Chains A and B, each alone.
Chain A
Amino acid sequence: MSVIRAKSLVKRFGELTAVNSIDFAVEHSECFGFLGSNGAGKTSTMRMISCVSPATSGELFVDDLDVMTSGRRIKAALGVVPQEDNLDEDLTVLGNLLVHARYFELPKHEREERSKEALEFMGLASRAGSAIDTLSGGMKRRLLIARALLNRPRVLILDEPTTGLDPHARHLVWQRLIQLKAQGTTMVLSTHYMDEAAYLCDRIAIMGEGVILTMGTPAELVKEHMGDEVLELRLAPWDKEKAMAHLEGKVDSIADAGDALILSGLNGWSLDPELGLDPQHTSVVQRPPNLEDLFLRLTGKGLEDE
Chain B
Amino acid sequence: MIAFPRASYRSLRVWQRNRDVFFGLWKSDALPLFLEPLVILGVTGLGIGQLVDDIEGQSYLEFIGPGLLAAYIMFAPAFENSWGSYIRMAVRHTYDAIIVTPLNIEDVITGEILWGTTRAMMMAVLILVILAVLGLVDSFLAILVLPLAALFGFMFASLSMAYASQAPSINAFNFFFSLFVYPMFFLSGIFFPIELLPSGLEQFAWVLPLTNAVHISRHLVDGDLVLSMLWSVLGMAGAAVIFYYLALVLMRRRLIK
Contacts and interface: CB of A to CB of B under 8 A. Distances in A.
A199 interface: no
Contact of B102 (A50, A86, A87, A104): A104
Given A13-B257, A86-B92, A91-B24, A80 B102 contact: no
Contact of B100 (A13, A54, A75, A90): A75
Contacts of B97: 82, 86-88, 100, 147
A5 to B, nearest CB: 20
Interface string A223-260: 00000000000000000000000000000000000000
B256 A52 contact: yes
A91 B20 contact: yes
A221 interface: no
B104 A71 contact: yes
B219 interface: no
Given A72-B104, A95-B20, A99-B20, A89 B98 contact: no
A90 B24 contact: yes
B229 to A, nearest CB: 38
A95 B98 CA distance: 14
Nearest to A71: B104
A84 interface: yes
A128 B20 CA distance: 17
Contact of A88 (B25, B94, B100, B256): B94
Interface string A127-150: 000000000000000000001000
A103 B104 contact: no
Contacts of A87: 97
Given A13-B257, A90-B24, A78 B100 contact: yes
A75 B10 CA distance: 14
A185 to B, nearest CB: 16
B94 A86 contact: yes
A296 B153 CA distance: 58
Interface of B: 10, 13, 16-17, 20-21, 24-25, 92-94, 96-104, 256-257
13 contacts: A51-B100, A72-B104, A73-B102, A78-B100, A82-B93, A84-B93, A85-B93, A91-B24, A95-B24, A99-B16, A102-B17, A103-B98, A105-B102
